Structure 1
């Protein structure tokens, strides 16, 4: 698997479609900070998005969509001077899957949320800006618009498994938005590495064979650069050296297997590239501050 697929699988991304929002006239709706990642797409009309802590509001036109990646409160409005009403009562009173604000239905938005495992924020979300805006005019956003249109169509039918189809389409949309963000140039972290011609081949090699005893020289050959070039570039883009990254990824894989109760610690150690349980324990504790046995016990207590 490629690194993005690996991380999305590890963070357990799942989606949930919420009621649509129809609005018109003078309207403003205030939303509490989302627990996961919130998305909306403008199917008709246009409005403004203001996110707490983000200096400028985002103008949303018909066909636009956006992703909110951080737990920040936000407001959707036709006019930001209008006093907002809380979203929760409006959506609780939704009729036929549509909440209403203001007067009329000049604006229509569909949306939902993505949720992740506890590691999702560190592995994926913290590498993203608070808001990713995808304008309808962006040529590469065609697939995102298609997914949104299909989500809308599924939610309007009573066909078998329409909700499940809509949720899977939402995951397709999430991946496409992440790709668009990479094309625009992520600033740092492993996501930025996916778009870097030197770093990306090394990342793919490590994710393809995490248990392989990689050296910087081998990874440099995979990237077709010198050892010193790879080491410097990887540190500059990702924020740590390639072997430090490999250790972190191995520990993420080991922790995932422990959470799933997947085998003995000795077996997990061999699967992720450590010759013994004791070697895994040293690396695990250095990375997480806990031994694998302590981590397993805490998972059991939580369950």
Structure 2
């Protein structure tokens, strides 16, 4: 599943796992414009993401993205009942912050081995890391626009 998120003003969106959702997954998000905070369950500090940054989250832990860590969160399922499937969710009219992202779910018995080897939160922010993912982000953005 992949999609985009376009926001304006104060906002905070929570992404969690339901009690019956045990699928292991890798979630990937990239900030195309603006900035936000990532508050991941089990992490000590919020992580600031700026234009060009990307983050990879592994496992089944919940997290939220927000314009500021103190803004109360709205559950993602309240905003969107079905997967984005390539569309863009606009919040408060959009225009100040835009990110693209998606997730991959794994049901194979070997998935837990892979996910244990990866860090829970991987922040890609320096120039060489940005260069390595730029092409993929441009393709994802073009696909969303199409």
Whether TM exceeds 0.5 here: the answer is: yes
Greater fraction of residues in strand: 2
Shift of 1:146: 1.5
Shift of 1:114: 1.5
Unpaired stretches in structure 2, ≥5 consecutive residues: none
Any conservation in 1 of the 2:6–2:95 contact (CA below 8 Å)?
yes
Greater fraction of residues in helix: 1
Shift of 1:53: 0.4
Any conservation in 2 of the 1:28–1:101 contact (CA below 8 Å)?
no
Higher relative contact order, chain-length normalized (CA < 8 Å, sep 6+): 2
> Which residue among 125, 128, 148 is the counterpart of 2:115?
125
Shift of 1:151: 1.1
Matches within 5 A, 1:25-174: 25-33=9-17, 35=23, 36-92=25-81, 97-116=87-106, 117-122=108-113, 124-135=114-125, 137-157=126-146
SS of the residue corresponding to residue 113 of structure 1 reads strand
SS of the residue corresponding to residue 92 of structure 1 reads coil
Any conservation in 2 of the 1:26–1:103 contact (CA below 8 Å)?
no
1:178-216: per-residue Cα shift (whole Å, max 9, x none)? xxxxxxxxxxxxxxxxxxxxxxxxxxxxxxxxxxxxxxx
Q: How many residues align structurally?
A: 138
Q: Which runs of 4+ in 1 moved over 4 A?
A: none
Matches within 5 A, 1:266-281: none
Shift of 1:103: 4.6
Any conservation in 2 of the 1:44–1:63 contact (CA below 8 Å)?
yes
Shift of 1:66: 0.6
Shift of 1:138: 2.7
Distance 1:79 1:71, change over 3 A: same
